[in-house]
Amino acid sequence: MDREPGWIARATDGGAAGPPSLLNTVGGWLGIAEATLPFIAFTIVWTATGRDILVGGIVAVAISATLAAARIARRQTTQFALSGVIGVAFGAFVASRTGRAEDFFLPGILINAGSATVYLVSIAIRRPLIGLLVSTVTGEGRAWYRDPTRRRAYTKASWIWVGLFAFRLSIQLPLYLSGLVGPLAVARVVTGIPLFALGVWLTYLLLRSTLPDLRARTGASAP
C-alpha cells in the first residue's frame, strides 16, 4: 500500500481537529477491504482448490474489481481502488505464468522496495519526499525547504517511511523466498493497514507542530 499523497491530503484537509482518522487515510472500510480481501481470498481459494493458481487469481481479481465498482457506485475516489485492481491482476498474471503462488505477492514486495529506495534517495539529496508531497497538497512551493526546522521534520518523517517499507521487506521477503504462501498472506495483511496506521500517526506527531494549518486546528505543541 503506497498511499502517502492521499493520506496527506486527507490528514491536512477538513475542519476536524486532532490526528488523522485511520478510516479516512485508508479510504474507509472499502479501503481496508481493498488492501486485505484479495490476498486472503487468493490464499484460501488456492489452498482449497489443490493449489490452483488460476482460480485463486480469478477470485482475487474479481473481488478487487467488485470493490472498485462499489467505490465508483458511491461516487468515491477510484485512484487507489483502480491501482489495487491493476496490482492484483498483475500479481495473478505473474503467478499464473511462473506457476509459483508466492509470485502473486511479488508486486507488493517490489513496490515496498521501490518506495524505500525513493525515500532514501530523497533524503540523500536533501529533498525529503514527505516535504515534497505536503508542499504539493498545501501549494506552498519550496517555502518549507528554506525553513531548517521544517526540513528536519520532513526528513525525520521520511525516515519513518523508509523504516516502514524496510520492515515490511524484512518480514515478507524471506517468506517469499521460502515459498511460504500462507504465512506470506498473513504478513501481507498484518504489515499492511496496521503498520501503515502507525506510519501515519508518527508522521502526524512530527509534522503537526510545523504546519501552520495543523497548529491552528489542534492547538498542539511539538511532541
Q: Can you give the pLDDT at residue 18?
A: 53
Question: Given pLDDT bands bounded at 50, 70 and 90, which one contains residue 7?
Answer: low
Q: What value does the mean pLDDT take over residues 8-30? A: 60
Q: Can you give the pLDDT at residue 15?
A: 41
Q: How far apart are the C-alpha atoms of 196 and 183, rounded to whole Å?
A: 19
The grid coordinates listed for 166 are 524496510
Beta-carbon contacts of residue 108 (< 8 Å; ≥ 6 apart)? 87, 91, 172, 188
Q: Can you give the pLDDT at residue 42?
A: 98
Per-residue pLDDT for 1 more than 70?
A: no
The answer to whether residues 108 and 64 touch, using CB atoms and an 8 Å cutoff, is no
Per-residue pLDDT for 223 more than 60?
A: no
- The conformation of residue 17, written as its DSSP 8-state character, comes to -
Beta-carbon contacts of residue 66 (< 8 Å; ≥ 6 apart)? none
The answer to whether residues 137 and 9 touch, using CB atoms and an 8 Å cutoff, is yes
Q: Can you give the pLDDT at residue 71?
A: 86
Q: What is the pLDDT of residues 155-199, one digit of tens each?
A: 999 999 999 999 999 999 999 999 999 999 999 999 998 899 889
Per-residue pLDDT for 124 more than 90?
A: yes
Out of 23-37, 78-92, 201-215, which region has the weakest mean confidence (pLDDT)? 201-215
Per-residue pLDDT for 213 more than 90?
A: no
Q: Can you give the pLDDT at residue 168?
A: 97
Out of 7-16, 55-64, 144-153, which region has the weakest mean confidence (pLDDT)? 7-16
Q: Which amino acid is at 105?
A: F
